[in-house]
Chain A
């Protein structure tokens, strides 16, 4: 296997430093990838994994300039001398955001894009486009424009657009970042199927480890601080401590095993929930019996306090004016939020989650139904009047920040409300303090990191002292460390400031770990209003909301525990206690 002939990519002592930076982003990378291998590259944000991807596909040094040292060979040729165009004939890259990389005006044109650039005659293009379209199961949508395609379909179009060139290597740069859990599983399954049927080499860069491991990989390469810190089989990686120390989230079933005090070893085959061996229940040293004992010992539930109703949504319905789509976007929806709750709002894209949030904030006006906030009908309140009680935080902080200084940004809402300077300063400082930004109050906004900007947008809403805050995908695209940072911060606001939270999310970890209730929306209707543990173990709800069954449930099944759903709840309660320590 390891002969020089089937070596397809190799990096030796490779370092790279961006021209604008004082230190290298990649140090001494030694990496060999053989033809037909499937490799997963993981690493926290800023570990250099995206920079490595840019080196592999030639964007570095051709588009992003800087200093390269060492050697990078593609099929024996010096890749640093090849242009980005030549490399793209060998290595096809599928980028993160399927929306933005859709450059064609229809699916077919987007798939044909690179053939067009290679001056292939239109008559020859059509059969090639048709062939790859059926490989990625998008052949029925060739004439569709991007707005008529779902996120998963767009991603399949991007894959076809790369496969059409008959590349040897497929490079996926965070393919799961914009997909819901079910679509993510589908994407990983499809990548696996393409690899099996075409013998292509596959490199996946991702930090959502558990989701990629749905299908096997040959090796996991772990990056941290610009270096490769581990390069080994998934079974070995998951039984080591490398992932933990680099701040990568392990699969939940591994965390559960660790909580139960069961050692995870390589020969248990821990890389997949279907292959993991837990041993016999009657053997007291086996993982299965440790899980069972732990399950019994941790049956204490959290004390649920029921507070008064804060917001009541009654029979709310809405149709976009002049919309061609038949049916209501929000259809006779009723639910209540209690003071101090943290609730997740889940459902597939287009299910009506965002529209529901917009109706609550007054961005859209309902056709029928009522909204009762603290026993008062707020239907006739303006957007600004509602904002005094209900804050809305957009997914992308860059879309919310409009001033260049941190203090001014937070003060904006108060200034427009005519609050006196003295009170304003006090309230702004307090909001900054709660959000951990007080030391930066005199700084410009662009000195902040992404996570800090997120907190800044939250501070600029907090300053209005709302009793309810709605956040759209608060952790989308964030690695485990930033996820923890943002969510622990929100958890503190919820616990210490009594702020009620409604979180629109696809993130199953977030649902399980931080919310006490999940409202599942499908086709504008509420399908369920249950504990996240029940939602994520109910197959009908899971498929309706485009979620994925939590591996904790499968773990409980494999260990033969009597009440797998209860086990999931016990895990969540225990995990909450561990996190609050």
Chain B
């Protein structure tokens, strides 16, 4: 069950020891650059750097492999969709047209389109690994305080971290409910038709939903009784002051962000164009 879920795994690498807030700031800057730029050289460098970070963190591949495979599948669908809706998007972007294969009707194959799709894929490869790394190396207790530290309101930050925490519990309840329902003949395996499976899923989700709502009710009462929401701000037991490493990482990432953005925009275009 746990292999389907991303969760914090203990470790002692430099990345594990950084403040959660530092990792959040790094991730925000990193994604900002990755979203903005289409400069192949920068993205390739970032993808390489992401691999290095993974190595440094000593996170085991099998912990993230499932979710990574899932995301790859999703990327694949996305690339196909881009091609179907705009087979000559690359031509428009790079303003040249090298036809490799005439194809069928509007579905041509151009060097520009292939290069454009490769860039989109590269972009995902740049954004996804650090996101996984952030989740796997940040202690859930630090999640809320880090979100709060970078400006998210503490009630939202706490809601996010409580949700993350209750996922395993909800999974367990789901499993219990689904087995009790299977005993009554609700079939969720591939042997049943999809209509039956859909009905079966509803029969499990309804009690699960009510169960979760009940729980939310009690937890919010418990939180109010202990003063949650009393003040506009709150402090955090798990607060860690920034260390030299944190400040260094933040400084370097700000500088690198500036550099990347400068390289990206210096020729007036977000795209690196090898065709001209």
Contact for B203 among A112, A121, A122, A402, CB less than 8 A = A402
Q: Does B141 contact A (CB under 8 A)?
A: yes
Contacts of A401 on B, CB cut-off 8 Å?
Answer: 207
Contact for A122 among B173, B184, B236, CB less than 8 A = B236
Q: Does B162 contact A (CB under 8 A)?
A: yes
**Per-position contact with B for A368-385: 1 when CB-CB < 8 Å, else 0?**
000000000000000110
Contacts of B13 on A, CB cut-off 8 Å?
Answer: none
Q: Does A270 contact B (CB under 8 A)?
A: no
Contacts A387-B184, A394-B176, A413-B184 given: A117-B231 contact, CB under 8 Å? yes
Q: Within residues 17 to 70 of chain B, which ones have a CB less than 8 A from any CB in chain A?
A: none
Interface residues on B, range: 35 or more
Q: Are B183 and A59 in contact (CB under 8 A)?
A: no
Q: Are B233 and A119 in contact (CB under 8 A)?
A: yes
Chain B at the A interface: mostly helix, strand, loop or mixed? Answer: helix
- Nearest B-chain residue to A58, judged by Cβ: B225
Contacts of B239 on A, CB cut-off 8 Å?
Answer: 122
Contact for A85 among B162, B180, B183, B227, CB less than 8 A = B227
A131 → B minimal CB distance (Å)? 14
Q: Are B180 and A105 in contact (CB under 8 A)?
A: no
Q: Does B165 contact A (CB under 8 A)?
A: yes
Contacts of B211 on A, CB cut-off 8 Å?
Answer: 396, 398-399
Q: Are A416 and B231 in contact (CB under 8 A)?
A: no
Contacts of B177 on A, CB cut-off 8 Å?
Answer: 394, 399-400
**Per-position contact with B for A79-107: 1 when CB-CB < 8 Å, else 0?**
00000110011000101010011011110
Q: Does B76 contact A (CB under 8 A)?
A: no
Q: Are A398 and B210 in contact (CB under 8 A)?
A: yes
Contacts of B179 on A, CB cut-off 8 Å?
Answer: 358, 361, 363, 383
Q: Does A118 contact B (CB under 8 A)?
A: yes
**Per-position contact with B for A449-467: 1 when CB-CB < 8 Å, else 0?**
0000000000011001000
Contact for A416 among B185, B215, B224, B230, CB less than 8 A = B185
The docked-state distance in angstroms from the alpha carbon of A147 to that of B179 is 22
Q: Does B204 contact A (CB under 8 A)?
A: yes
Q: Are B141 and A105 in contact (CB under 8 A)?
A: yes
The docked-state distance in angstroms from the alpha carbon of A100 to that of B225 is 13
Q: Does A193 contact B (CB under 8 A)?
A: no
B26 → A minimal CB distance (Å)? 22
Q: Are A120 and B207 in contact (CB under 8 A)?
A: no
**Per-position contact with A for B199-221: 1 when CB-CB < 8 Å, else 0?**
00011101110110011001101
Contact for B234 among A106, A119, A162, CB less than 8 A = A119
**Per-position contact with A for B220-259: 1 when CB-CB < 8 Å, else 0?**
0111111111110111111100000000000000000000
Q: Does B181 contact A (CB under 8 A)?
A: yes
Contacts of A105 on B, CB cut-off 8 Å?
Answer: 139-141, 161, 165, 238
Contacts A113-B228, A117-B231 given: A101-B203 contact, CB under 8 Å? no
Q: Within residues 111 to 137 of chain A, which ones have a CB less than 8 A from any CB in chain B?
A: 112-122, 125-126, 129
Q: Does A581 contact B (CB under 8 A)?
A: no
Contacts of A101 on B, CB cut-off 8 Å?
Answer: 218-219, 222
Q: Are B222 and A412 in contact (CB under 8 A)?
A: no
Contacts of A97 on B, CB cut-off 8 Å?
Answer: 218
B183 → A minimal CB distance (Å)? 4
The docked-state distance in angstroms from the alpha carbon of A400 to that of B207 is 7
Q: Are B237 and A129 in contact (CB under 8 A)?
A: yes
The docked-state distance in angstroms from the alpha carbon of A103 to that of B224 is 11
The docked-state distance in angstroms from the alpha carbon of A392 to that of B176 is 11
Contact for B214 among A126, A398, A415, CB less than 8 A = A398
Contacts A399-B207, A416-B185 given: A392-B180 contact, CB under 8 Å? yes
Interface size on A, residues (CB 8 A): 61
Interface core residue of B204, B221, B234 (most chain A CB under 10 Å): B221
Contacts of B231 on A, CB cut-off 8 Å?
Answer: 117-119
The docked-state distance in angstroms from the alpha carbon of A413 to that of B180 is 11
Contacts of B132 on A, CB cut-off 8 Å?
Answer: none
Q: Are B224 and A63 in contact (CB under 8 A)?
A: yes
Q: Does A174 contact B (CB under 8 A)?
A: no
**Per-position contact with B for A327-341: 1 when CB-CB < 8 Å, else 0?**
000000000000000
The docked-state distance in angstroms from the alpha carbon of A126 to that of B236 is 11
- Nearest B-chain residue to A121, judged by Cβ: B235
Contacts A398-B207, A403-B203 given: A84-B224 contact, CB under 8 Å? yes
Contacts A118-B227, A402-B207 given: A100-B181 contact, CB under 8 Å? no
Q: Does B186 contact A (CB under 8 A)?
A: yes
Q: Are A103 and B184 in contact (CB under 8 A)?
A: no
Contacts of B233 on A, CB cut-off 8 Å?
Answer: 119
Q: Does B112 contact A (CB under 8 A)?
A: no
Q: Does B182 contact A (CB under 8 A)?
A: yes
Q: Are B221 and A59 in contact (CB under 8 A)?
A: yes
Contacts A97-B218, A363-B179, A398-B214 given: A412-B185 contact, CB under 8 Å? yes
Contacts A119-B235, A120-B235 given: A57-B225 contact, CB under 8 Å? yes
- Nearest B-chain residue to A397, judged by Cβ: B207
Q: Are B225 and A84 in contact (CB under 8 A)?
A: yes
B224 → A minimal CB distance (Å)? 6
Q: Does A161 contact B (CB under 8 A)?
A: yes
Q: Are A88 and B225 in contact (CB under 8 A)?
A: yes
Q: Does B168 contact A (CB under 8 A)?
A: yes
Q: Are A109 and B141 in contact (CB under 8 A)?
A: yes
Q: Are A394 and B180 in contact (CB under 8 A)?
A: yes
- Nearest A-chain residue to B240, judged by Cβ: A122
Q: Are B225 and A117 in contact (CB under 8 A)?
A: no
The docked-state distance in angstroms from the alpha carbon of A62 to that of B20 is 36
Contacts of A84 on B, CB cut-off 8 Å?
Answer: 224-225
The docked-state distance in angstroms from the alpha carbon of A94 to that of B162 is 20
Contacts of B173 on A, CB cut-off 8 Å?
Answer: 399
Contact for B238 among A89, A109, A387, A399, CB less than 8 A = A109
Contacts of A161 on B, CB cut-off 8 Å?
Answer: 226
Contacts of A100 on B, CB cut-off 8 Å?
Answer: 215, 218-219, 222
Q: Are B162 and A103 in contact (CB under 8 A)?
A: yes
Contacts of B221 on A, CB cut-off 8 Å?
Answer: 59, 63, 95
- Nearest B-chain residue to A383, judged by Cβ: B182
Contacts of B181 on A, CB cut-off 8 Å?
Answer: 402
B239 → A minimal CB distance (Å)? 5
Q: Does A386 contact B (CB under 8 A)?
A: yes
The docked-state distance in angstroms from the alpha carbon of A165 to that of B234 is 15
Contacts of B229 on A, CB cut-off 8 Å?
Answer: 117
Q: Are A88 and B203 in contact (CB under 8 A)?
A: no
Q: Does A417 contact B (CB under 8 A)?
A: yes
Q: Does B187 contact A (CB under 8 A)?
A: yes
The docked-state distance in angstroms from the alpha carbon of A113 to that of B235 is 9
Beyond the given pairs A101-B218, A122-B239, A147-B168, 18 more chain A to chain B contacts, judged by CB atoms under 8 angstroms and listed by A's residue number, are A57-B225, A84-B225, A100-B218, A101-B222, A109-B141, A114-B227, A117-B226, A117-B230, A118-B227, A118-B230, A119-B233, A126-B237, A363-B179, A391-B183, A399-B173, A400-B177, A413-B183, A461-B184
**29 interchain pairs, CB-CB under 8 A:** A59-B225, A63-B221, A84-B224, A95-B221, A100-B215, A100-B218, A103-B222, A103-B226, A105-B140, A113-B226, A116-B234, A116-B235, A117-B228, A117-B234, A118-B231, A119-B235, A121-B235, A125-B235, A383-B183, A387-B183, A392-B180, A394-B177, A398-B211, A399-B208, A399-B211, A402-B203, A402-B207, A413-B183, A416-B186
For the complex of A and B, 6 pairs with smallest distance between CB atoms: A416-B185, A117-B227, A101-B222, A105-B141, A387-B183, A112-B237
Q: B-contacting residues of A (Cβ < 8 Å)?
A: 57, 59, 63, 84-85, 88-89, 93, 95, 97, 100-101, 103-106, 108-109, 112-122, 125-126, 129, 147, 161-162, 165, 358, 361, 363, 383-384, 386-387, 391-392, 394, 396, 398-403, 412-413, 415-417, 460-461, 464
